[in-house]
A = this chain, B = another copy of it.
Amino acid sequence: MNQYQQKVKIMSNKFEQYKGLMKRVADVHHTIALLHWDQETIMPSKGAAFRAQQIGTLAGISHEMFVDEKLGGLLNELNNDSSLNEREAKNIQETLKDYEKKKKYPTEFVEKLSVTVAESTHVWEKAREADDFSMFELHLQKVIELKRQECDILGYEEHPYNAMLDNFEPGAKVADLDVLFTDVRKQLVDFVKKIGQKAQVEDSFLKKHYDHQKQWDFGIDLLKQMHYDFDAGLQELSAHPFTTNFNPCDVRVTTRINENDFTSMTWSCIHEGGHALYEQGLSTDDYGLPTGDAISLGVHESQSRLWENHVGRGYGYWVANYPHLQGLFDENLSNVSLDEFYKAINLVKPSLIRVEADELTYHSHILIRYEIEKALMAGDVEVKDLPEYWNSKYKEYLDVDVPSNKEGVLQDIHWSSGLIGYFPTYSIGSFYSAQYFAKAKEEIPDLTSQIESGELKPLLDWLRDKIHQHGRMYSAEELCVKVTGEKLNFQHFMDYAEKKYSEIYDLKMEEAL
């Protein structure tokens, strides 16, 4: 063995050590996800206090394992090693970035934040139920103060909110998002106003009685059609739909069923299914490594929204699925044509609640939260003034009057849980999804007719090839350029929206623009 070969062997040993440590951290990390999954799906009520404690303990262990000096030493050695291949080197770079970031957090801060958000989430639930912001105010105050501290701990350039954004969408910056949301405000909000001047769409048949079990079975069929792998996942019920994964071979989704509203279950199934397909498509070999992990929340959301909206709210999808649906719910749908159905499920109408919003007005909800979070982090607005601030923005962008804090500033769990910087990824994801779907249509010439016949595998294969398999090999921006030839460009979303909704609402294109 010559000197070079010897060096390669030592380094490859070190890389294996690194992989071993990462695998152990991932095992703990995914176990925490199971504790949460169980809590949200079946845990009996009295188990809550011990469960919170158990999650806290595991979170502490996972943090300690990750910031261990041994891992740090290995990372620094491997970072200077030219014998690693490109994927290996990328893993080391990304892990080092994560490591240096996590290292910045003092353990006392992590523990204090964890206790504070556990408490404030608990209080938020009660405050929302009681429609009483004052109950929640002091708790939210504490959370916001800690998040401001966190900005300082992490450090930032230009705007403290950049530190928060980076936690969910690495690389996202206020400077870019200001431009993006200006487009939303100028183009999308205006377009929605034009739609609002048109006649109402009839959608009352969606709110008739839809049997629980039949809805459940239909949702499972949709997931199967998407090629969600039920040998590597399952669906359960929960109060709020979500996707979680314990490894790429065990990716679970939840849905909820409202017997008086058929839409809730259906599009949550397709949405969570889209998230799950991404996770099921990650590399099992790279379990625990950045290249075995999703890029960002925005890219994750691009997958769920692509399936939910571009596929699942498209005309072709219901060419494939409407006859089956009609057969199941004959009593509600026998007199509803496919065209009427399609219009009803794409009704655009400004409303109060983010999670019930249509795919266009949705972004006004996000725009509002983006502006508020930015102001909170910069200290430009105080927690006590939030209800008024919130309501004025809903009037401005959505032209709706907020009748109660329950339907206003108290509606989302995010802030109580310390999730500041999370909301923008919903819009970013939607805009990515439009850009990716436009490219998929270009590259899969038969896509439209495939969707019309329920053949969704070619689309999934394209997503697996272009996006899923890479994990964090590329940044969100790099991947977007690699796949579509350009950075995130809001125009793809506007083109999609204008084409689709001008048809539905019979707007002339010049009217629309």
Contacts and interface: CB of A to CB of B under 8 A. Distances in A.
Interface stretch (A25-33, A114-122, A300-308): A25-33
Q: Which of A232, A234, A250 has the most CB of B within 10 A?
A: A250
Interface in A10-64: 23-24, 27-28, 30-31, 34-35, 38, 42-47, 49-51, 53-54, 57-58, 61
B42 A234 contact: yes
A247 interface: yes
B231 A57 contact: no
Given A27-B54, A57-B27, A61-B28, A47 B287 contact: no
Question: Size class of A's contact patch?
Answer: 35 or more
Q: State the oligomeric state as a number of copies.
A: 2
A46 B234 contact: no
A489 B106 CA distance: 57
Given A23-B53, A38-B38, A53-B23, A247 B47 contact: yes
A229 B44 CA distance: 10
Nearest to A50: B247
Given A231-B44, A234-B44, A249 B58 contact: no
A28 B45 CA distance: 21
A109 interface: no
B234 A50 contact: no
A412 B43 CA distance: 30
Interface string A422-434: 0000000000000
A232 B47 contact: yes
A247 B52 CA distance: 12
A233 B38 CA distance: 12
Contacts of A229: 46
A35 B58 CA distance: 13
Contacts of A44: 230-234, 249-250
Given A50-B249, A50-B287, A247-B47, A28 B58 contact: yes
A249 B234 CA distance: 27
Contacts of A234: 42, 44
Interface in A388-437: none
Interface string A60-80: 010000000000000000000
A30 B38 CA distance: 13
Given A44-B233, A234-B44, A250 B27 contact: no
Contacts of A246: 47, 50-51, 54
Contact of A61 (B34, B61, B232, B250): B61
Interface in A226-240: 229-234, 236
A57 B32 CA distance: 13
B34 A250 contact: no
Contacts of A249: 44, 46-47, 49-50
Nearest to A42: B234
Nearest to A37: B38
Nearest to A27: B57
Q: Which of A30, A31, A61, A233 has the most CB of B within 10 A?
A: A31
A44 B53 CA distance: 27
Contacts of A42: 234, 236
Nearest to A287: B50
Nearest to A280: B46
A250 B43 contact: yes
30 contacts: A23-B53, A23-B57, A24-B57, A27-B57, A28-B57, A28-B61, A30-B50, A30-B54, A31-B31, A31-B35, A31-B54, A34-B34, A34-B38, A42-B236, A43-B250, A44-B234, A44-B249, A45-B231, A46-B229, A46-B232, A47-B232, A47-B246, A47-B250, A49-B249, A50-B247, A50-B249, A50-B287, A51-B246, A51-B250, A54-B247
Given A47-B246, A54-B247, 7 more contacts: A27-B53, A30-B54, A31-B54, A38-B38, A42-B234, A46-B229, A50-B249
Interface of A: 23-24, 27-28, 30-31, 34-35, 38, 42-47, 49-51, 53-54, 57-58, 61, 229-234, 236, 246-247, 249-250, 287
Closest 3 CB pairs of A and B: A47-B250, A50-B247, A27-B57
